[in-house]
Amino acid sequence: MVIDARTKKQTPVIHITGSDEVWFNKGDRRYYLGTSRDCTIPGTPCPAANQETPVLGVVDADTNLLIEKVPQSSNSHSVAADSKRNRIFVGQVAPVAVVGTGGDTTPVGAGICGGNSGCVAVFQHNIHDRDDDHGHDHDHEARNDK
């Protein structure tokens, strides 16, 4: 749900649940949702824990429509944005085999991080009408900063 702080108007955002943290990036006019328990099947609340998955949700701030969901490591739920560079930061948890309880139970975090130490994933949103885009024809790039 998006709430306009000035008017108190509430607008539901459909097809994503379980957002723990939300960040508005004024650089690309998108909301980024750190969602540790998004339901993989329609329905609220999610019928069973094994049907929940962590994702980075991306919502267009002008339409309040969900644009995409990017898979994240288990227990990944924090997000931040740099509005000048349009970089989105999401902490990735190391595997449960490394850290024990609370660790990532999927291969997603290790795939994003390129190893088993956990990391902060940095997603880049290139805006096509900006001078610093250099002709790239893509929406998001992922990289990791360990």
pLDDT tens per residue across span 64-77: 899 999 999 988 88
Residue 136 predicted with pLDDT over 60: no
Residue 102 predicted with pLDDT over 50: yes
What value does the CA radius of gyration of the chain take, rounded to a whole number of Å?
16
- Cis preceding-peptide flag for 45 (omega within 30 of 0): yes
Secondary structure element (H or E) that encloses residue 99, with its range: helix 96-99
Residue 131 predicted with pLDDT over 60: no
For the chain, the average pLDDT equals 83
Report long-range pairs for 18-21 (Cβ below 8 Å, ≥24 apart).
Answer: 18/46, 18/52, 19/57, 20/77, 20/78, 21/77, 21/78, 21/79
The single-letter DSSP state of residue 93 is P
Q: Where are the domains of the chain?
A: 2-145
Residue 101 predicted with pLDDT over 80: yes
